[in-house]
């Protein structure tokens, strides 16, 4: 990705997805929910000065299209920017990245994973500010009893349920 502030909007099987990068690192992903023109307006409003560069997102586009076609993919090689590793949010988001496709983990388990067992609510709050869903698969985090919990992406809990159901079906096919 180029060193400037760039964005893209591209179609997937679930609708338009948007992304923004700065200095070659992904800084924002907007999951399918908006019409393409509305999504482009949203991205340019949130990131003034960003220029469209579909080419800069070629690999992300390929992976997202495969993902929304229920293919098991990994976003591990997509360069992205997260809060500092030493920060609470940075620890939460990095730990969340380790949740495998088709699996879930509870907020309390994630809190234990970062050695903050009392911080399940704070974990949920940090995930609610995740700037790069899919790359950091926050949709894979649920309550201990299996209820969905929250999901701050446009589309809310119905989108979270749909993502989890798709991943479960995709991994069932692979067994």
CB 71 within 8 A of CB 170: yes
138 catalytic residue (yes or no): yes
Candidate list 22, 64, 96, 138, residue with the active-site label: 138
CB 24 within 8 A of CB 42: no
CB 19 within 8 A of CB 34: no
Short-list 97, 4, 114, 1, CA closest to 50:
4
Enumerate the β-bridge partners of residue 55. none
- The label of the residue with tokens 């690192």 reads 25
Three-state secondary-structure class, residue 47:
coil
CB 2 within 8 A of CB 24: yes
CB 48 within 8 A of CB 4: no
- Catalytic residue positions, numbered: 138
């Amino acid at each position: 990705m180029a060193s400037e502030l760039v964005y893209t909007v591209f179609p997937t099987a679930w609708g338009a997805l948007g992304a923004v990068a700065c200095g070659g690192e992904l800084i924002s992903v907007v999951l399918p929910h908006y019409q393409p023109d509305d999504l482009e307006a949203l991205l340019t409003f949130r990131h003034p000065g960003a220029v469209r560069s579909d080419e800069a997102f070629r690999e992300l586009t390929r992976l997202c299209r495969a993902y929304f076609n229920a293919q098991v993919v990994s976003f591990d090689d997509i360069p992205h920017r997260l809060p500092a590793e030493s920060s609470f949010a940075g620890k939460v988001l990095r730990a969340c990245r380790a949740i495998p496709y088709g699996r879930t983990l509870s907020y309390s388990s994630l809190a234990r994973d970062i050695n903050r067992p009392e911080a399940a609510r704070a974990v949920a709050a940090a995930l609610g500010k995740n700037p790069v869903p899919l790359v950091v698969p926050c949709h894979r985090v649920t309550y201990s009893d299996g209820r969905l919990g929250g999901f701050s992406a446009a589309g809310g809990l119905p989108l979270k349920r749909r993502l989890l159901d798709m991943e479960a079906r995709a991994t069932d096919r692979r067994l």
